[in-house]
Amino acid sequence: MIIDAQCVGGEKTLKSGKNPNLVTHLPGQPKVGFNHYSGYVTVNEENGRALFYWFFEAATFKEKRPLVLWLNGGPGCSSVGYGATQEIGPFLVNENGAGLSFNKYSWNKEANLLFLESPVGVGFSYSNKSSDYKILGDNITAEDSYVFLQNWFAIYPQYRTHEFYITGESYAGKYVPELAELMYDKNKISSKSHYINLKGFMVGNPETHDAHDWRGQMDYAWSHAVVSDETHKIITENCDFDSDNKWDNQNCTNAVDEVFAQYDEIDMYSLYTPKCIHSNTTKHARHGGDQFKYTSNKMMRRIYDGYDPCLDDYAAVYYNRYDVQKALHVINGSHLRNWSICNNDIFNEWTESRASVLPAYIKLMEGGLRIWVYSGDTDGRVPVLSTRYSLNALQLPKIGPWRPWYHRGQASGWIQEYEGLTFATFRGAGHAVPLFKRGEALAFFSSFLSGTALPNQRQ
């Protein structure tokens, strides 16, 4: 249901132009020259289903900059806890959740940024009907996100005509093209008042095609010496990842379990940095319909080269503060909402997932959308091999050779341009690329928005 009204989910656009969702007293926030807004948008009035968002105006020229939606995956993980305050937003959560620091590589230097906690049950998003939490899957996530956007534009109509892009990472590798496809189809039949100026999407370390994702993950673990030759041989000989019955083969299942047992000793999402060894946070992965979890050991954490593996814990502390929830318009009274960076129940009860979003890629490429895909090359969860296997299956004509791309005189990764799609790697980056390579990621994002080629020589 799309609501064309002045009041949506308790939010009002006032005739005076003042938006009550303006965030004015966020604890620990650095001073900035742009506004940001947060609150709820109702996507289903009957069930009381409402999604939480946080919107940052572009730092400069907000009237001319594109509007970019960022989604995190899981399924069940928060774009506020990850994307907004660990990766690409202007504020980064500090150690132990004590406050925020300014991110000089924020993507709002190039665009107006919209972060959405989706579906309901993620972060602060909720439903008043408990049965809604039992039907979550790819389709309802795309549909609710589309309704959210239509209702969000009713509150912020000045952004409807802006160029619109969708971005995200991990399981959002499915969310993003699924939402883009839905929007593309809806645009064909929408009136001008509901048309969204969709121009493209970009995904990082994305789940794309289940069989290729699994095969790439297993091959990557072996090629990076995480598992033995014997384990990889068993997987090669016994695992048919294209089969719906792949987990009926006990030899395959046992060998895959061995891969995850070895990964439990390190951070699978960043092979060459320490894991958070005192964390209470659960990581998410798709493991044949079952969940793989990190164990929790109470030992002193380590910080390596500016990367702190315990950021998830800090975010949980910060977003469960009363003053933070009050400032973000999550609560009006004294009753705190229980915020977690990932909701395990959503992951465990996910009802529907597309085996492949490659057909959506084909449709949207034919429709002229700009599509960029990137991979941090030290991620073991959705590794670069998985993405290369998936993209190779498209059999796209290549434009130019596989080559390095550069940032500030250094080779930042490699790139392959295809007809209709660009793929690039980030050298030395884990699963959440902007967390590891902030400057390179911002430069990459800028090139994506402008549609210009990445530098092919040192500058």
**Residues forming the active site:** 170, 379, 431
Residues 383 and 430: their CA atoms lie apart, in Å, by: 9
The rounded distance, in Å, linking the Cα atoms of 317 and 383 is 30
The single residue listed with the structure tokens 């039992």 is 134
User: Which residue, 107, 131, 122, is CA-closest to 440?
Assistant: 107
Positions of E strands within 195-310: 198-204, 286-287, 290-291
Which residues are paired to 421 by β-bridges? 418
CA–CA separation, 8 and 198 (whole Å): 23
Name the DSSP class of 85: I
Q: Are 61 and 111 contacting, i.e. CB atoms less than 8 angstroms apart? A: no
Residue 191 CA: distances (Å) to CA of 92, 137, 188, 196, 403: 39, 28, 9, 10, 43
d(CA 126, CA 128): 7
Q: Hey, CA dihedral for 129, 8, 5, 2, is it positive or negative?
A: negative
Identify the burial level of 277 via C-beta atoms within 10 angstroms of its C-beta, where 0-12 means exposed, 13-18 middle and 19 or more buried: middle
The answer to whether the bond into 274 is cis (omega within 30° of 0) is no
Angle, nearest 10°, between helix axes 250-263 and 229-238? 140
Single-letter amino acid, residue 11: E
Please check whether residue 177 is in contact with residue 201, taking contact to mean a CB–CB distance below 8 angstroms: yes
The alpha helices in 264-321, defined as continuous H runs, are 311-319
What 8-state DSSP symbol labels residue 159?
A: G
Pick from 170, 171, 153: nearest CA to 162 = 153
With beta carbons less than 8 A apart as the criterion, state whether 75 and 350 touch: yes
The partner residues of 37 in beta bridges, in order of sequence, read 22, 55
Q: Which residues make Cβ contacts (< 8 Å) with residue 40, sequence separation at least 6?
A: 9, 10, 11, 50, 51, 52, 53, 124, 125, 329
CA 247, CA 253: separation in Å to the nearest integer?
A: 6
Overall size of the chain counted in residues: 459
